[in-house]
Amino acid sequence: MDALFLARSQFAIVTIYHFFFVPLTLGLSLIVAIMETLYVRTGHDVYKDMTKFWGKLFIINFAMGVVTGIVQEFQFGMNWSEYSRFVGDIFGAPLAIEALMAFFLESTFLGIWIFGWEKVSKRVHLLAIWLVAIASNLSALWILIANSWMQQPVGYVINNGRAEMVDFAAVVFNPNIWTQFPHVISSGLTTAAFFVLGISAYHLLHPTKNKDAYSRSFQIAAIVGVLAVVGVVMTGHSQMQHIVESQPMKVAAAEALWNTEDPAGLSLFTIGDTKNREDVFAIRIPGMLSLLALDQIYGKVQGINDLQAQYEQEYGPGNYVPPVFITYWSFRAMVGAGFAMLFAIAYALLLVMGEQLEDKPRFLRVFLWLIPLPYIANTAGWILTEFGRFPWIVYGLMKIADGVSITVPAWSVGLTLVGYTLIYAALMVADIYLLVKFARRGVESETTDEPTKEPAIALVGD
Amino acid sequence: MDLNTLWFILIAVLYIGFFVLEGFDFGVGILLPFLGKDDKRRRMMINTIGPHWDGNEVWLLTAGGATFAAFPEWYATMFSAFYLALFLLLLALIVRGVAFEFRSKDHHPRWRSLWDWCIFIGSLVPPLLLGVAFANMIRGMLIDADMNYVGGFWNLLNPYALVIGLMSVSFCVLHGAVFLENKTAGDLRAASHKTAWRAYPVTVVLAIVAIIGTYLSTDILLQLDINPGMVPLAGIVALLLAGYFIRKEKTGWAFTMTGLTILVTVATAFLILYPNVMVSSIDPAYNLTIYNASSSDYTLKVITVVALLFVPIVLLYQGWSFWVFRGRISEDSALEY
């Protein structure tokens, strides 16, 4: 295995792992902030109990996002130093700004929030969680500005063999960011909404003294969730329309559209022969892809073979086709999970509006099992975004193979790949153990103040 | 002053902020098995740094980000050169950060002891490795004409670098012990005082060896002759005063002085480096400097505006957070961690 393959595998593993925690941080920070706002405005203790309960789960998840985020910032220089030299003039700025604007704010005010219940006033404490929520989402903005530049380079010139920034505003207002950022933010809220729905449903189905807290949590999550899922679908749709123009190959690969079609059909299910680039078996809805991508029933959507020929002319010989199997199925996993969530959240809202939460235990039970759905969609979405850019590390400017560190030997990359994987796996076990433990223990009401029983799971054996 | 120099100074300031702030929470982590005789005490120790360690660590992240933005060639060369060292640093910071959040969330003694080990190792390894890394940067490394490091991992572990690494650890221990003495009450405070007083002579000896090593291993002699200049002298004075104040149990002043010692030490490293950012031991012509490693003027201008706007705000709210949590932690304090 060469260093390039190992470096790519490492990027995939540490990034997917990092983004396993980030969306919940993004969304749950906002939901906890909403709950604490209700507490400060109404003075009802139930909202304080809710804030503390969901806040504890938030913190456990947050810690994992923070520590895995450090790897993200360092690995560009470690594994991708040639890439870093090429893009540093542009790519470094959003990273530095992210740290300066968001990381300081987030970490300092989370400290205030966790330790400050008795040290600062109610309002300042509320301000702290809002600043944490804003800072988390602000950090997402800056890192996505950086990623958007890799997807669609703007505001630069090539000078002395590297990309140099000539227009900061163009980099910040990259057309790609307008669809990508709202999509990521709404998927964060979706993740948090399903997290809260699932755990609340679990408790509503079991005898509890805090029924009120869980049904209010369910209510808040259902309302936030509806807005979020509708947002995800809409922004996802406009992102697709944008990518048809900016990276047509990504769309062609996601659809396994071998040849240019007019009108183009939407694939429902394709078993393809990726070597010969042809369908073995396919069900397509005629004209549907044209309609979705171009807002018209007739319209040309470019296919893989034609784009490959076009890129060979433009950029020279080489393979410009992303791994179709991966992009096609990750796209389906994402969209499939998205629509499943759309139906589920609509149903949750109906339950809330009809005030019949507890009358439908069978349906309520389902929500616990829906918690993984947004995680599947988030992961699949990034796999599509990053694999779909193949062979480019910066679209049209630099190929992945040219970005890897040239002096780092393959065994070093392999060793660290194994190291990260093992430690991440161990931490995942610990993290899920704690999340399950505190999710089960549930809301601890300050007024009753009864000692709670430890759940009978032991991770570290006696 | 040009923007290249300004960003060199700003990155120095970020590293100074990191070592002065995270230095004491590294120290507390290293002292955990030694001063934390029982679970209650360990929790008290961890809670002294609870609200701060994450914010302190962001100084390192920002230093990394600022290096990437202002001097991409420096970032690329440095991070690929210190590959395995940075990997170990990352693992240390990962388990340490998680350990703070996780350890007290379960009562099982083995769960807690597992995370306590993570805190100890996670606090010991970073100052050691960063000391080694900085020593190599000022001493010179095998950097070729293409700005690539062509040496191996073992080249980095030369005696001079190890001395600086150990000095860095002992600075953190001293700084952490004084912090604990200043931040706790009762038995823990008395024990911290004893530890600080014991750590002090070790730190002084390591500092002397480090100063001699720096004269022998770098070209500082050519630059400055025997006179080290005002800045390093201030560091020596601060270290001596730290001893005096520890003795007199003036903990606030002692903490100020250990902080000042670290500040000046890091500043000295950057003064030795300037105007280089990475020194080549193959040929001085291969040195990375603040000019050949930098971003374009336009980019430097953009990030300068951002930094001038946000650095003062960051300093204000981080300072405020230290003020909010200014009290001492005693046996009766409510403990979050």
* CA pair distance B13, B315, nearest whole angstrom: 12
Percent of chain B surpassing pLDDT 90:
87
Express each pLDDT in A233-258 by its tens digit: 999 999 999 999 999 999 999 999 99
Task: For residue A305, tell me if it sits in a domain.
Answer: yes
* CA pair distance B239, A72, nearest whole angstrom: 37
Supply the pTM of this predicted model.
Answer: 0.93
Chain B residue with minimum CA distance to A408: B80
The whole-angstrom distance between B319's CA and the closest CA on chain A is 10
**Do residues A156 and A164 make contact, with C-beta atoms less than 8 angstroms apart?**
yes
**pLDDT of A453 above 80:** no
What average pLDDT does this structure show over A148-152? 97
Interface contact A208, partner B, CB < 8 A: no
Express each pLDDT in A32-72 by its tens digit: 999 999 999 999 999 999 999 999 999 999 999 999 999 99
* CA pair distance A157, B33, nearest whole angstrom: 55
CB contact under 8 A, B325 and A115: yes
**Do residues B53 and B62 make contact, with C-beta atoms less than 8 angstroms apart?**
no
Give the other-Cβ count within 10 Å of A419's Cβ. 16
Predicted confidence at residue A455, as pLDDT, reads 43
Interface contact A105, partner B, CB < 8 A: yes
Q: Which 120-139 residues of chain A touch chain B by CB within 8 A? A: 120
Closest CA to B217 of B159, B169, B147: B159
Predicted confidence at residue A157, as pLDDT, reads 96
Task: For residue A459, tell me if it sits in a domain.
Answer: no
Residues A21, A158 share a domain: yes
Residues A355, A228 share a domain: yes
Express each pLDDT in A4-22 by its tens digit: 999 999 999 999 999 999 9
Predicted confidence at residue B225, as pLDDT, reads 60
Task: Give the C-alpha distances (Å, rounded to integers) separating B134 from A209, B17, B138, B175, B260.
Answer: 57, 15, 6, 19, 19
What average pLDDT does this structure show over B314-331? 94
Give the other-Cβ count within 10 Å of B25's Cβ. 27
Percent of chain A surpassing pLDDT 90:
81
Task: For residue A379, tell me if it sits in a domain.
Answer: yes
Which residues, other chains included, contact A242 with Cβ-Cβ below 8 Å and sequence gap of 6+? A175, A176, A178, A179
**Do residues B74 and B278 make contact, with C-beta atoms less than 8 angstroms apart?**
yes
Interface contact A453, partner B, CB < 8 A: no
Which residues, other chains included, contact B62 with Cβ-Cβ below 8 Å and sequence gap of 6+? A96, A99, A100, A103, A104, B14
Tokens representing A43 are 């003075």
Residues A313, A338 share a domain: no
Residues A30, A152 share a domain: yes
Residues A130, A14 share a domain: yes
Of the candidates A292, A320, A348, which is a domain's last residue? A320
Residues A305, A263 share a domain: yes
* CA pair distance A330, A182, nearest whole angstrom: 20
**pLDDT of A450 above 50:** no
Interface contact A110, partner B, CB < 8 A: yes
Predicted confidence at residue B224, as pLDDT, reads 63
What average pLDDT does this structure show over B302-314? 96
What average pLDDT does this structure show over B250-265? 95
Interface contact B317, partner A, CB < 8 A: yes
Residues A336, A305 share a domain: no
Predicted confidence at residue A273, as pLDDT, reads 85
Q: Which 387-416 residues of chain A touch chain B by CB within 8 A? A: 405-408, 412, 415-416
Closest CA to B120 of B38, B33, B23: B33
Lowest mean pLDDT among A172-186, A423-437, B209-223, B269-283: B209-223
Express each pLDDT in A375-384 by its tens digit: 999 999 999 9
Which residues, other chains included, contact A368 with Cβ-Cβ below 8 Å and sequence gap of 6+? A198, A199, A201, A202
Task: For residue A257, tell me if it sits in a domain.
Answer: yes
Of the candidates A274, A301, A320, which is a domain's last residue? A320
The residues pairing with A163 across neighbouring beta strands, listed in sequence order, are: A158
Domain boundaries, chain B: 3-324
* CA pair distance A121, A125, nearest whole angstrom: 6
Kind plus residue range of the DSSP H or E element containing A268: strand A266-273
CB contact under 8 A, A165 and B65: no
Closest CA to B73 of B326, B299, B327: B299
Task: Report the alpha-carbon angle A302-A306-A309, nearest 5.
Answer: 145
Task: For residue A462, tell me if it sits in a domain.
Answer: no
Residues A398, A283 share a domain: no
Predicted confidence at residue A314, as pLDDT, reads 95
Query: Helices (DSSP H) in A116-174: which residue ranges?
Result: 122-151, 168-172
CB contact under 8 A, A88 and B75: yes
What average pLDDT does this structure show over A126-144? 97
What average pLDDT does this structure show over B204-221? 87
Of B93, B296, B307, the CB nearest to A165: B296
Confidence of residue A447 (pLDDT cuts 50, 70, 90): low
Sign of CA dihedral B212, B215, B218, B224: positive
Chain A residue with minimum CA distance to B83: A78
Residues A264, A206 share a domain: no
CB contact under 8 A, A120 and B324: yes
What average pLDDT does this structure show over A370-394? 96
Express each pLDDT in A401-446 by its tens digit: 999 999 999 999 999 999 999 999 999 999 999 999 999 999 987 6
**pLDDT of B222 above 80:** no
Helix and strand totals (H; E) in chain A: 16, 6
For A327, how many CA atoms within 13 A lie in the half-sphere containing its CB? 21
- The average confidence (pLDDT) of chain A is 92
Q: Give residue for tokens 């709210």.
A: B317
Residues A293, A178 share a domain: no
* Per-position DSSP letters for B223-286, written without gaps between them: HHTT---HHHHHHHHHHHHHHHHHHTT-HHHHHHHHHHHHHHHHHHHHHHHTTEEE-BSS-GGG
* CA pair distance B246, A447, nearest whole angstrom: 46
Q: Domain limits at A42? A: 3-247+323-441
**Do residues B155 and B85 make contact, with C-beta atoms less than 8 angstroms apart?**
no
Residues A346, A215 share a domain: yes
| Stated length of chain A | 462
* CA pair distance B221, B213, nearest whole angstrom: 11
Task: For residue A363, tell me if it sits in a domain.
Answer: yes
- The average confidence (pLDDT) of chain B is 94
**Do residues B197 and B246 make contact, with C-beta atoms less than 8 angstroms apart?**
yes
Interface contact B209, partner A, CB < 8 A: no
Residues A399, A328 share a domain: yes
Compute chain A's Rg from CA coordinates. 24
* CA pair distance A281, B135, nearest whole angstrom: 63
The whole-angstrom distance between A244's CA and the closest CA on chain B is 31
